[in-house]
Structure 1
Amino acid sequence: MHQLTYGDIKAATDRIAGHIRPVTLAPIDPGAIRTAHRDPLDDRPEQPCEVWLALEFMQHTGSFKARGAQNFIQAYRDAGTLPDAGVTIASGGNAGLACAWAARQQGVHATVFLPTTAPAVKIAKLRGYGAEVRLVGTQYADALTACEDFAAATGALASHAYDHPLIAAGAGTLLEEIHQRIPGLDTVVVAVGGGGLFTGVATAARHHGIRTVAVEPDNCRALNAAIAAGRPVDVPVESVAADSLGARRASAMALAAARHEDVHSVLVPDAEIVRARRTLWDHRRIAVEHGAATALAALLTADPHTPHRDLPTRPATQARSYRPGSGEKVCVVLCGANTDPTDLVL
């Protein structure tokens, strides 16, 4: 198992420079996010927290996945090892879009496998990028098996939605940009599916002394379950955010990145994810997918016993939200917006 390093992320930063869009950052209105309860003996003046939104859904293909896909294909292009059969990937949608986009940039063919539950908007976009789309099974794991068989039979280069060091390193370039743009950043909050974004972001964050809050839906808790078990394990997948966060198991790289005291694991219910997504629309006219809203839900969910920088971390299986401490600087990653927005317009 390759354990991601900060050097991997720096190499990715250099490799994809000029090929991806720099992240856009927007501050949340002061006072919109409540801070955590403090020790009553703490007589220091309370300072409001400072919360930023990383609008990574404005990235090429509508999600952060473009970073990893560009890094992956560019690395093989630079090494002269891109096969004539092109690239193939199994994806719930966003990684496939990114792979198809990066492949088109490099002039190679992309074959993308998706579960039949993938949103129609993502399938249409995939075909718009020139990819060959194959729908298999009802879960990501089904599509992955078909993709692996295809790669073995054709010699196509097999990419992965999250479990590859080049993919995770590309995702980690996002934190490098955020760190440069928000001096003194304390915490980054990210949604977790299989763990590619989390692995890259947490690895870069740890290098810079920034904590990472890993947020998952109650019923798509692959990383949370891996932390509790001490190894990657299969979990049920049933959530409103399953189309982008519905990995059956987290990567070993993600678990390795999570085994640090500067990482907090948080679970949120679907109702809070829906509410966070609606809040972004009502207050900012931002239409993100449920997976992106999952990260913000951690800061909006009410739980008086939540971890923050001045309190001990609760067990991974119990944390229900994250409340910033007094004066804490937080960045919430809104990772994708490949969604049908019609249910937001009443």
Structure 2
Amino acid sequence: MVTLTAADVTAAAVRTAGRVRRTPVLQVGPALWLKLEQLQHTGTFKARGAFNRQLAAQEQGELDPRRGVVAASGGNAGLAHAHAAAELGVPATVFVPETAPAVKVGRLRALGADVRSVGSEYARAYEAAVEFARERGAVFCHAYDQVEVAAGAGTLALELVEDLPALDTVVVAVGGGGLFAGVAAALEGRARVVAVEPEGAPTLHAALAAGAPVDVPVGGVAADSLGARRIGDLGFDLARRTGPVSLLVDEDAVRAARQDLWSRFRVVAEHGAATAWAGLQAYEPRPGERVAVVVCGANTDPSDLR
């Protein structure tokens, strides 16, 4: 079984140096900080994994400058891989469901990606991307369940412990589990991870209850970014190894958390990112516990923020 280690995350930090932004931390309480990862390229943490995946493939001689990379995603992962490919000067093909919002398709094309609409669900777009990689020789880039992708995401945790050496706990939102896996691997034996999911997409929570990854129904306000139908193998493996605190939050809590981040700190967050902040309503830190919450993305319509 493929595993993810702290060494993979350290290697990713070296590989992506100068390619990704070192995002700031904002202290919002006596022992509480926000990791402002929504300021990353393309507006989410996904750029870290995209660069690490593509640069690693380049190092290994797998990245043909004519064939480039391929991904399946109408959202944040697709944008990140398209951005990284443009920076590296290689073509990117992104398969999206026919239902993908026109604004996201437009952003992908603006980044130079060849966008191909296939099927009504993400699963069909994913199958088409895998087939394209096999037939054309393009490097396949997973949205979350790939060692290089998850290790790249974990580099934000290395920044956190450099900025906050006495950090006890990091709170992250979970969708497919790439961010969680990277952060948990980076912090294994060093800090606790609190994994927060919306009730409408409880991939990790359901897997822990079942003892294995299982499909779950997906819906709700955060489904555009936390809409994986099951936790990835890497995320589940790290959960078994590290024993995170697993929390579920409801729709109202996610909406309120998004508004709270804006009202109190003027931080724009998509609903998936606000899910982590909502987790603080269910997680009670110990006295003096130093906690950082990852605001992982800002790709949202801010017009309803007051």
* Maintained 8 Å contact 1:190/1:212: yes
Alignment of 1:216-295 (within 5 A): 216-260=197-241, 262-295=243-276
Instruction: Say whether the 8 Å CA contact 2:97–2:122 is kept in structure 1.
Output: yes
Shift in Å, 1:113 = 1.7
Using a 3 Å threshold, how does the CA distance of structure 1 residues 273 and 161 change in structure 2: closer, same or farther? Answer: same
Pair 1:113–1:184, CA change in 2 (3 A): same
More divergent stretch after superposition (248-257 vs 151-160): 151-160
Q: Is the 8 A contact 1:89 1:111 kept in 2?
A: yes
Contact 2:276–2:295 (Cα < 8 Å) also in 1: yes
Structure 1 residues 160, 216: CA separation in 2 closer, same or farther (over 3 Å shift)? Answer: same
C-alpha deviation, 1:66, in angstroms:
0.6
Q: Provide the residue aligned with 1:41 in structure 2.
A: none
CA distance in 1, matches of 2:275, 2:195: 10
Aligned match of 2:305: 344
Q: Match of 1:282, SS?
A: helix
Letter in 2 for 1:280: L
- Judging changes above 3 Å, is the alpha-carbon distance between structure 1 residues 275 and 137 closer, same or farther for their aligned structure 2 residues? farther
Residue range with higher mean Cα deviation, 258-267 or 70-79: 258-267
| Contact preservation (8 Å) 2:62, 2:139 | no
CA separation of 1:261/1:12 partners in 2, compared to 1, >3 Å: closer, same or farther?
A: closer
C-alpha displacement of 1:333: 0.3
The alignment partner of 1:247 has SS state of coil
Bigger mean CA deviation after superposition, 150-159 or 169-178: 150-159
| 1:282 Cα deviation after fit | 1.2
Counterpart AA for 1:27: Q
Residue 294 (structure 2) aligns with = 333
Query: Cα offset for 1:81?
Result: 1.6
Unaligned runs of 5+ in 2: none
Q: 2:27 is matched with which residue? A: 27
Which of 77, 82, 104 matches 1:95?
A: 77
Stretches of structure 1 that go unaligned for 5 or more consecutive residues are 31-49, 301-320
1:307-326 Cα distance to aligned partner (Å, 9 max, x none) = xxxxxxxxxxxxxx211111
Q: State the TM-score, normalizing by the size of structure 1.
A: 0.85
RMSD after superposition: 1.5
Is 2:109 the partner of 1:148? no
The sequence identity of aligned pairs, in percent, is 54
Q: 1:142 deviation in Å? A: 2.9
Contact 2:188–2:242 (8 Å) recurs in 1 = no
CA distance in 2: counterparts of 1:259 and 1:115, whole angstroms? 32
* Matching residue of 2:12: 12
Compared CA separation, residues 284 and 248, structure 1 to 2 (3 A): same
Q: Which has the larger radius of gyration?
A: 1
